[in-house]
Every structure is written in C-alpha cells, then in structure tokens.
Structure 1
Amino acid sequence: MMNNWRNACGRNDGFRRRRWSKATPSCSSGAEAVILHRYILRQVVVPVLVAALLLNVLFLLVELLRIASVAVGVGLRLADLGWMSLLLLPGLSVFTIPVAVLMGIMLGFGRLAEDGELVALAGAGIGPGRVLKMPALLGAAAALLGMVVSVWFTPAAARTMRGLFVDLTRRNVAASLDSSKFYEELPGLVLLCGPRRGPGAWQGFFAYDLRDRELPLLLVANQARVGDSSGADLELQLQDGQACLLQDEQRRQTIAAFSRGRVRLALDVLVSDRTRFLSPTDHLYLAQLREMAADARQPIRLRKLCQAAWHRRFAFPLAALIFACLAVLMVAPGRGQSRSRSLWLAVALVAGYFLLMRTGDALVEKGILSPSYSAWLPDVLLTMAGWWLWRRRQGVAR
C-alpha cells in the first residue's frame, strides 16, 4: 500500500512521520482519487455494518429483557415476540445508526493507523479533506436514513406496538380467567370464572364491581364468553344471570334477572402499566408534536418534552455525520493508534454525547435552556470540537 501511494503521487523521498498535509496537484484527481476513495470506503463499510448488526441485536435483547416483566404472560405467543422485536427496531435504529457509523469508521481507520497506511497517505501528500470525503458521505447517508426512520418509521412502529399491547392485555386477561381463581388485577373489580367450555367460554361467571363505592354491583351468570372488543376494552357476553345492586346504607338490594347481557371491562390501567416502558412522544408524528407543544392546556412538562422530541427527531440522526467526521479526525497518522484504542475513543465519545444531552435536559428542567437548544446542544459542541481538530490537521509539515 505504501509503495502504491508513493508511485502514484510521484514521491521518491521516502515516508516521514508527519501531520496531515494538503494534497498536491499531482494526486488530486484522476484514477488515483477513485482508487483512494474506494479503498477507504471498503475499509469502513464492513465495520459499520457489523457494528450496526451487533448493536441492534444487543440493544434488542436488552429491551426485550426490560419489558419481559410486563410483556411476558400466559397470552404471549412466539409470533407476538417476533413482531414485538421488529417493532422495537426502528426506535433502536435511531440510536444505533450514528453509533455504528462512529465505531465502524474508528475501527477501520484504527486498522489503517495500526498498519502505518495513514502515514503513507500523509507522506504522499494526501490531505485530510480527501481522506475525509468518503466517511463524510457515508455519515451523511446514515444521517438521512436515520431521519427517515425517526420521522416516519418510529412513530408508526410505536403506534403499532401500543395496539399490540392492547390485544396482548386482552388475551392475558382472558387467559388468566381460565385459572378458576379470583382475578383482581383490574382496579375495583373481582372476577371469577367457572370451568372452561371452549376458547374464551366458561360455565359460570361471578363479578363484584366496587368501582362505584356507593353502589356496589354483584353479577352472576350461568355462561360467559369473550365477545367482540374494541379499543382498550374487553367485552364479556353473559347468559342466564342476575344483577344485584346494593343501593344505600341499609343495604337494600335491587335484583334483576337477564337472559343475555354484556359487560365491558376497561383495560386502560393494565394497558398503561404494560406500556410504561414506551416514550410518551414516540408515537406522535411531527405535526402532532408541534400541536402538543403549542397547546396551552397540556402540562408544561409534556409541552417541553414534545418540543425537545421534535428537534431530536433531526438532531440525533445528524450526529451520524458529525461522528463520521470526528472519527476520521481523531485517528491521526503517526501516533501508533490501535483498533482497541479507537474503540475506547468511540465509547468515550458516545458517552460524552449522552452526557451533554442529559446536561441539556437538566438545564431545561431548571428553566435555564429552552428544549430546542438542549436538543441541539450535543451536536453544536461536537461540531465545534470537530472544527478544532480539522484546523489542527490542516497544518503542513515544514
């Protein structure tokens, strides 16, 4: 590799360890530039793709373990688990795409530095601008992909995820009623079903409704089955039963018999509990975030959250381009940088980004910084750091 760049650029004075220098006219265009860009692209694309795959798998497993306590139940099927995993990927990709770009490019350039190839490129008069071109284009493509995922795919997946948990909660409740034990997970309700007579059908049903403390209701029926449900409700169809209403302090009773009846069980509390791991803004599209942020009737905290979420739909994907440029500039020739050191630098940079993001959130909570500024704070500061590194790399060896 070193001899190739020396011959291509017409250098016969050997290769000295030096800082990046500006490209000479003899190797600023033509076939050598195409070879250079293809070579650099090959060195970084594979590590970026591998990093993206590993990060998505890793964080997907972490997310599945985190929601296992609320997602896994007697009504969960293998198909639900697979569908849930697919729905989690868009939200995870918004995070993993920029990080994968950073780690992949730093690993690729770490290998080039470890093998002395960055010294060869610097000695051949190839400046940082030309070396930076392909990683920057890769980062721009990743940023564009991240914005598409963040703006359209993530809200759609979050909405579908909520619908999945509503259906899953219905099936969990129906399956729990099969246990012939008192079911008390719904606030103010005690349910008991008799022996199962088929899918979603029981012989015997008992319900004690305490949601209205002043008018407790007792329901008994010979048969019950799950009916057509909509929204976050579970409908039970009853046959041949009685309803007993306790009306006042003297416990006077009103008893009514019925041949057919329907009971709708509101599962909002259970659904809210099972979806507490979901962000309150992920399912909102950009227009809805703007409306919520401008709605004076909403709590001030939710309005700030929506405003920050709107800006972060663009700020965090754009970090892929910033990370790509920083990755190249942080791996300098002539320092004997290894791939392991590059990996640790990437981890430190990601940690710094999220530390800046949390710092911005804290400043918003104290009223020092607006939500829009806090969303862009990490990008702005890292861009300034990249500009400083760029100015340093622009020096020409004397």
Structure 2
Amino acid sequence: MKVIYKALTRELLQNIGLSIAFLNAVLIIEKLFKLSKIFASVGIDLPNLVLLILLLQPQLLIFTIPMALLLSILLTYGRTQADNEMTIFMVSGMPYKKTFKPAIYIGLIAFFFTVLMSFYLAPTGVSLVREKILTILAERAPLGLEEGVFNQGFKDVTIFVKEKPDSLHLKEVVIFDERKNDTKIVIAKGGLIKKERDNINLSLLNGKAYFNKGLTLNEVSFKEYIFRLSPNIDPIAKKVSELSLFELVSKIQTEEVKAIDYKLELYKRFALPLLCIVSVFLAPSLCLIVGKTGRIGGITVGLAIFAFYYILMIYGANLAKAGKVSAEIGSLLPVIVMAILAFTMYTRIRK
C-alpha cells in the first residue's frame, strides 16, 4: 500500500503543478492587459515584468489551488479507472475510499496554504505590485515624454515638448492640466525632469501659467515652477478584494454603507480554502461519474463543477446585496451546496 500511495502522491503532485501552471497562464492574461495600459507610454523591461507577474501569483493562487486540486484528483483517479488499476486495487482487498488517502493529505496542505494566501500573501503581494509599478513609472517617465508629441501618460494631464536634448532636459514645454476639476495651462521655455519617490517633478523655467477662478482668467509669470505629476495607476486602484484582513474588519465596523461588500469579501476568503476540503470528499464520487473516460472526462467534470461553483458564488452575493440573505450565507452558499452534494454522494459510495 505504501508503494501505491507513493505512486498516487507523485502523480497527484505532478497534475497539481500542471493544472496550476495552466490556470495561472489563463488568469494572468487579464493582469497583463491591465499592465499594458499602465505602461503604454513608458514601456517596461522583461525583468520588471517577470517580477510583477511573480508578485501577482498569490492573488491568483487563491483561485487556482482549489481548482487545480479537484482537477488533479479527477485526472489521477480517472486515469487509474481508465487503466483498470482501480479494479485491481479493490480486487486485491484495498477499499475504494482508502485509495484517496493521498488526496486527503494533499487537500489539507492545500487548505492551509490557501488560507495563508487569502489572508496575508495576496494583499501583501498587491501592495508590493503597486509600489513596484510606481517605482518603474517614476524611473521610466523621462522615456515617456517624447518631443513633438502630445504625451498623455499621466491622468488628466497633456504635455507637449518641442525639443528634448537629452533624457532629462526639455525645451519649449506646454502643459494642459485638468486635475482637481480646474483647468490650468503652463507654458515654459525650458524644463528639467526630477524624480521624487513615487512622483515625477518637472522643474519648468521662464514661463507663464494661466488658470481660471470662476469666470476670470489669471496669468502668472515665473522663473521656476515645480509641476508635480502622479503616475496613472487607476487600472490597479485598490479594490475590496485587495484589502488585508484587519482592513476588512475595520471597514465593516466604520463604513456601514459598504459593510455588505466588505462582509462578502471577508467570508469569501474563508469559503475558497474550505473548497479544498470539500473537493477531497467530492472527488471520489465524481471519479465514479467520470468512469473510464480518463483525463478528458476528468477535465470536463472538473471545469463543470467550478462553473457551477462560481455561478452559486455570484448568485449568493446578489442575494446578500438584495437583503434576502445575510452576508455569511451569501458568501458561503456555494460551499454549503457543494458540501451537501459531497456528503450525499460520499454516503452513497460507502453504502
């Protein structure tokens, strides 16, 4: 039995690794699309892009680990049934449920690992991603300001540079600023790009600034004017799903208007790790359904189960937001339904 368990464990781990790699490759496409919008004006080098992808992994692994666990179990035990190995195990006196002992241990490890990801590593990773993006934008901002082009790499700011002798010096600069619901036009004969932490400062020399107050237009002449620019990072603005555990609890207590959204997110972080445990008990029944269809049947059934799970997750969240159920029930609804299904089918297998 130890030899059998060792072989099954090795195959389970291989299938989990392949499933995580495949699912992450699919989910990372959306993140790469957002990053391409952020760095459209300045570009990004390969090492920094790889680093950002690595920092985004904890946020993706919250979803891919439960999915990969179920898929790997279905692939592994579906293969054993297709090759008649499961029949040999049972004929040799090994109970059907005992063949899933390696899957149970791997499921427990996946549960604790997903908890760690959900409550700590994912929010921390997103914060590091934001800091890294700000750093890259600040470093590469000089490359984004091209001469003879209307540069729009910064939110609500358009910059025109007639000449750019080098990467830091500018000549004949015109800036159209629409931030803070005010319109400001700055014209300068020269300028110098300066970096200051997460912001980029333009030291404009010998020019004029035009700004309106109400219905009046004001003109100010200057010898040096420090114009601050903030990188455009709206596409990765902090969302509810990126808050840490303590931030969620704090906002639930202080922000009553959006408390339901924070509660849904908090309990959803418990639901996803619990799905690892549910998957372990649901998999033996699903393997019987898969039968001798092998890997193709395992992939099909696994994806169908997760499609059903996410439909329930969206439905439960909508019920909670409509006030028909509590946030706890709305978030845990898919896990409760899957647990009932797993218990019912597992009981039938034991009988």
Aligned to 2:162: 194
Does residue 256 (structure 1) correspond to residue 221 (structure 2)? The answer is: yes
Q: 1:384 aligns with which of 323, 340, 348?
A: 340
Residue deviations 1:174-210, cap 9 Å, x none?
A: 4343232334565664432231122232123223445
Aligned to 2:27: 59
Does residue 271 (structure 1) correspond to residue 233 (structure 2)? The answer is: yes
Aligned to 1:280: 239
Does residue 292 (structure 1) correspond to residue 220 (structure 2)? The answer is: no
Instruction: Please report how far the alpha carbon of residue 264 of structure 1 lies from its aligned counterpart in structure 2 after TM superposition.
Output: 1.6
Aligned to 1:14: none
Instruction: Please report how far the alpha carbon of residue 293 of structure 1 lies from its aligned counterpart in structure 2 after TM superposition.
Output: 1.5
Unaligned runs of 5+ in 2: none
Aligned to 1:159: 127
Q: 2:68 aligns with which of 88, 96, 100?
A: 100
Change (3 A) 1:220 1:352: same
- The alignment yields a C-alpha RMSD, in angstroms, of 2.9
Instruction: Looking at secondary structure, tell me which structure has more helix per residue.
Output: 2
Aligned to 1:11: none
Q: Is the 8 A contact 1:73 1:172 kept in 2?
A: no
Counterpart AA for 2:111: A
Instruction: Looking at secondary structure, tell me which structure has more strand per residue.
Output: 2
Larger radius of gyration: 1
Change (3 A) 1:190 1:113: closer
Percent same amino acid at aligned positions?
19
Change (3 A) 1:224 1:40: same
Counterpart AA for 1:280: K
Question: Which residues in structure 2 correspond to 1:133-212 (within 5 Å)?
Answer: 133-170=101-138, 174-183=142-151, 189-209=157-177
Does residue 68 (structure 1) correspond to residue 41 (structure 2)? The answer is: no
Give the alignment's TM-score, normalised by structure 2.
Answer: 0.88
Change (3 A) 1:261 1:145: same
Following the alignment from structure 1 to structure 2, what is the Cα–Cα distance between the partners of residues 105 and 134? 10
Following the alignment from structure 1 to structure 2, what is the Cα–Cα distance between the partners of residues 219 and 377? 56
Q: 1:241 aligns with which of 189, 207, 212?
A: 207
Q: Is the 8 A contact 1:235 1:262 kept in 2?
A: yes
Aligned to 1:359: 315
Change (3 A) 1:210 1:380: closer
Does residue 116 (structure 1) correspond to residue 84 (structure 2)? The answer is: yes
Instruction: Please report how far the alpha carbon of residue 248 of structure 1 lies from its aligned counterpart in structure 2 after TM superposition.
Output: 7.7
Residue deviations 1:33-75, cap 9 Å, x none?
A: 4334324323422222222222223322453245434444333
Instruction: Please report how far the alpha carbon of residue 82 of structure 1 lies from its aligned counterpart in structure 2 after TM superposition.
Output: 1.4
Aligned to 1:393: 349
Q: Is the 8 A contact 2:142 2:167 kept in 1?
A: no
Residue deviations 1:218-273, cap 9 Å, x none?
A: 43333212223344x4311123334456678675x554332x33122344xx321x
For this pair of structures, how many residues does the alignment match?
351
